[in-house]
Chains A and B, each alone.
Chain A
Amino acid sequence: MKYILQLALKNILRSKRRTILTFMMLTFGVTVYMIMSSLYAGIDEVSFDNLVQFETGHVKMRHVNFDEDRPFSTDNLMTQKKEIYEKIKKHNFVKGVTDRINLLAEMDNGIDSMPVVIVGYDQSTDKDVFELAKFISKGKMEKDGAIIGVDLAKDMGLDIGDIANLTFRDVNGMYTALDIPVTALLYSGDPMANKMKIFMNIEIVQKNMDTDAFSEIAVKTDNMYNANKYAEILQKEISEADVKSWKTLSYEFANVVSTKKKAGNFILFVILIIAMVGIINTILISIYEKRREIGTLKAMGMLDKEVRNLFVAEGFIIGFTGSLFGLVFGTIANLYFIYHGLDFTSMMDQMGNMGASMVGVMKSVWVIKDYFVITFLATAASIFASYYPAKKVMDMQPVDCLRTVQ
């Protein structure tokens, strides 16, 4: 076997240019795949984090009749805060509970008006679940002030210290006006929030709405990856609410992620095919050029299987070293994407809402699994690819190989 590997290596080194070409194809493919895979992983991680820290919490509860198509219905506001809180808090895995109220309002600056979403948050408990402070780009959270999305502020010509004029319907259906000073600007990963959200003390909102009800309760647990299980436990006990984990809530977003995964797999597939075709080509040519030598080897008594192995070994060496090189290049390239990242801010401004929470700067993360997957797949594909032409040699008659000797 060792002898065969040595022979194969000599064969590879004999036609350097062709080997290098195949090699480069493989290396390039592996590098591209690594970069993409790490970038996707990075996007997932950051986006989900943002979503959980800003919008969903680990588990979210809403009125049992909550309807995605009528999110601001005042009939679907929740009451019985005390009872529900008690039921939640008795669990050890619960690390924080808070409630929020959402409503649709119109913001007016004297000339123009725009629809906005008011989010009333509990100033004492919100930080137990969410990390609103992390998304404040300018100013401070104040008791009587509003935090307003950066793009909304720009559109309406507002800055910190200005008064925002809001009109909305209270629970009785009466139009109410509210003037509130802007004390902070919000810059989140969700462009829709930047464009239409305004956060303020839930007490102010409830007073103006003429209610003490709220839209949702959000819970933080000891482990966000157990959220599905926790949601189930809570749902059993709390019949007055519809309990959902962040995973279920971000279902659509998760769909986008899985589509991206599919795209990634497709690219891997294409890369493998290209590499395989390249290797088949290299080995085929190598075989046709060496027909006479093969005939001679066979004439000397080398077994057909050994001749085949000779060429499979050639494929193996190309595939294995090619993927190693790719991993090295991919790692080097990833250093840039992981520590520097890609800045999409300006592009996102142009495209607007992409339908999911996204951040402006994307950073990759290391995906250790890739190293094993790539080495294994690239090598396996190479062996597989060289098997076909090698089999051709195996089936050739020695006389056919030697036929042309003059």
Chain B
Amino acid sequence: MLLEVKSLNKTYHTGIVEFTALKNINLSVEKGEFTAFAGPSGSGKTTLLNCIGCLDRGESGSILLDGVDLMTKKTVELAHVRKENFGFIFQTYNLFPVLTIAENVEMPLKLLQKESQEEINEKVMKMLSKVGLSGYENRRPLELSGGQQQRVAVARALIKKPKLILADEPTANLDSKTGESVVELMKELNVNEGVTFLFSTHDSMVMKRASKLYEIHDGQIKASRKK
């Protein structure tokens, strides 16, 4: 078992109002799965992904990655957990406008400081060709279309071969055709390279591609399906 979430709760405190965004969430993800969270807007998908990805802190329960509980870790340790284990893809791409495409993609490897620049360059070129963006290395993100930007984001998430890629509504900002091609790309990588994906969506077309689906309503898992 790669990831296991046990009775996770999350409450937002905003001044005097409290809002429980996640209630008793239990789920698990196996290596190589292509898992999706589905649910209407405001159901808690982003919150759940943020908690799993250590971008936010849950309130109670546990999140086990390879059997290690992430909930008890310190802030600095969490940064290392993210660096070594997770790749993120955001709805709004979140590329760095001041860096070139290649520099954006190489960033996770630079952070890990394990390889020489030559090795990194080689990997970046390979990765960019995989996502169909060869020849774009020296362009800036803002010169690219939304679909292309999201492909860069996929490349960036994948380059360090993370244990788990977390994608929060990766297609929500794209038209359906471009969105489909991005999901296609993710699926391909999942099948061919065994990358584990965990993503949220409210797009039924994307849900169909998932190998495992959790339906979330009002912060609770209402149903789960496996294909």
* Direct A–B contact present (CB less than 8 angstroms): yes
Footprint of B on A, CB under 8 Å? Answer: 404, 406
Contacts of B91 in A (CB 8 A): 406
Q: Smallest Cβ distance from B60 to chain A, in angstroms?
A: 25
Q: Which 4 A-B pairs have the closest CB atoms?
A: A406-B91, A406-B46, A406-B92, A404-B92
Give the residues in chain B near A406, CB-CB below 8 Å.
46, 91-92
The residue in chain B whose Cβ has the minimal distance to the Cβ of A14 is B15
**Closest residue of B by beta carbon distance from A404:** B92
Which residues of chain B are within 8 angstroms of A404 by Cβ–Cβ distance? 92
Q: How far is it, in angstroms, between the C-alpha of A404 and the C-alpha of B91 when the chains are bound?
A: 11
Cα distance A404–B46 when bound, in Å? 14
A sample of 4 inter-chain contacts (CB < 8 A) reads A404-B92, A406-B46, A406-B91, A406-B92
In the assembled complex, the Cα of A406 lies from the Cα of B91 at a distance in Å of: 8
Main DSSP-derived SS at the B contact region: loop
| Bound CA span A404–B90, Å | 12
Number of A-B residue pairs with CB-CB distance less than 8 Å in the complex they form: 4
Chain B 73-105, CB within 8 Å of chain A: the 1/0 string? 000000000000000000110000000000000
Q: Which of B10-64 contact A (CB under 8 A)?
A: 46
Which residue of A has the minimal Cβ distance to B91?
A406
| Chain A residue, CB-CB nearest to B15 | A14
In the assembled complex, which residues on chain A have CB atoms less than 8 Å from the CB atom of B46?
A: 406
> Nearest chain-A residue to B46 (Cβ)?
A406
User: B interface vs A, CB < 8 Å?
Assistant: 46, 91-92
Distance in angstroms from A117 CB to nearest chain B CB is 77
Closest to B172 in A: A406
Q: Closest residue of chain A to B41, judged by CB?
A: A406
Alpha-carbon distance between A404 and B92 when the two chains are bound, in angstroms = 9
Q: How far is the CA of A406 from the CA of B172 in the complex (A)?
A: 10
Q: In the complex, A36 Cα to B46 Cα: how many Å?
A: 58
Min Cβ gap B177→A in Å is: 23
Shortest A402–chain B CB gap in Å is 13
Chain A proximity of B96: nearest CB distance (Å): 16
Rounded to whole Å, the gap between the CB of B198 and the closest CB of chain A is 18
A62 to chain B, nearest CB (A): 77
Taken together as a complex, chains A and B put the C-alpha atoms of A406 and B202 apart, in Å, by 14
Complex: how many Å from CA A315 to CA B46?
37
Q: How far is the CB of B40 from chain A (nearest CB, A)?
A: 14
Q: Report the Cα distance A12→B46, complex, angstroms.
A: 31
CA distance A406 to B50 in the complex (A): 14
Task: State A196–B92 Cα separation when bound (angstroms).
Answer: 86
Q: Residues of A contacting B92 with CB < 8 Å? A: 404, 406
CB distance from A296 to the nearest CB of B (A): 15
Q: Given the complex of chains A and B, what is the CA–CA distance between A406 and B92 in angstroms?
A: 9
The answer for the CA separation of A406 and B41 in the assembled complex, in Å, is 10
Q: In the assembled complex, how far is the CB of residue A110 from the closest CB belonging to chain B, in whole angstroms? A: 83
B48 CB, nearest partner CB in chain A, Å: 14
Q: In the docked arrangement, what's the CA distance between A99 and B141, Å?
A: 92
Closest to A403 in B: B92
A404-B93 Cα distance, complex, nearest whole Å = 12
Complex CA distance for A354 and B215, rounded to whole angstroms:
87
* Chain A, Cβ-Cβ closest to B168: A406
- How many angstroms from the CA of A126 to the CA of B4 in the assembled complex? 103
Least Cβ distance of A405 to chain B in Å? 10
In the assembled complex, the Cα of A239 lies from the Cα of B27 at a distance in Å of 111
Distance from A37 Cβ to chain B, minimum over Cβ atoms (Å): 44
Least distance between A390 CB and chain B CB atoms (Å): 25
In the bound assembly, the distance between CA atoms of A169 and B218 in angstroms comes to 111
Q: How far is the CB of B154 from chain A (nearest CB, A)?
A: 19
Report the minimum CB–CB distance from B55 to chain A (whole Å): 13
Tell me the bound Cα distance from A361 to B92 in angstroms: 71
**What's the Cα separation between A7 and B91 when bound, in Å?**
34
A84 nearest CB across to chain B (Å): 86
The CA of A404 and the CA of B94, in the complex, are separated in Å by 11
Whole-angstrom distance from the CB of A7 to the nearest CB of chain B? 16
Q: How far is the CB of A207 from chain B (nearest CB, A)?
A: 94
CB distance from B17 to the nearest CB of A (A): 15
Shortest C-beta distance, A10 to chain B (Å), equals: 11
Task: With both chains docked as a complex, state the minimum distance between the C-beta of A58 and any C-beta of chain B, in angstroms.
Answer: 70
Distance A105 CA – B46 CA, assembled complex (angstroms) = 97
Q: State how many angstroms separate the Cβ of B140 from the closest Cβ of chain A.
A: 19
Least CB distance from A289 to B in Å reads 14
Q: With A and B bound together, what is the CA distance between A406 and B46 in angstroms?
A: 10
A190 CB → nearest B CB, Å: 67
Min CB–CB distance A52 → chain B (angstroms): 66
CB distance from A70 to the nearest CB of B (A): 76
Chain A residue, CB-CB nearest to B169:
A406
**Shortest CB distance A267–B (Å):** 42
Q: How far is the CB of A404 from chain B (nearest CB, A)?
A: 8
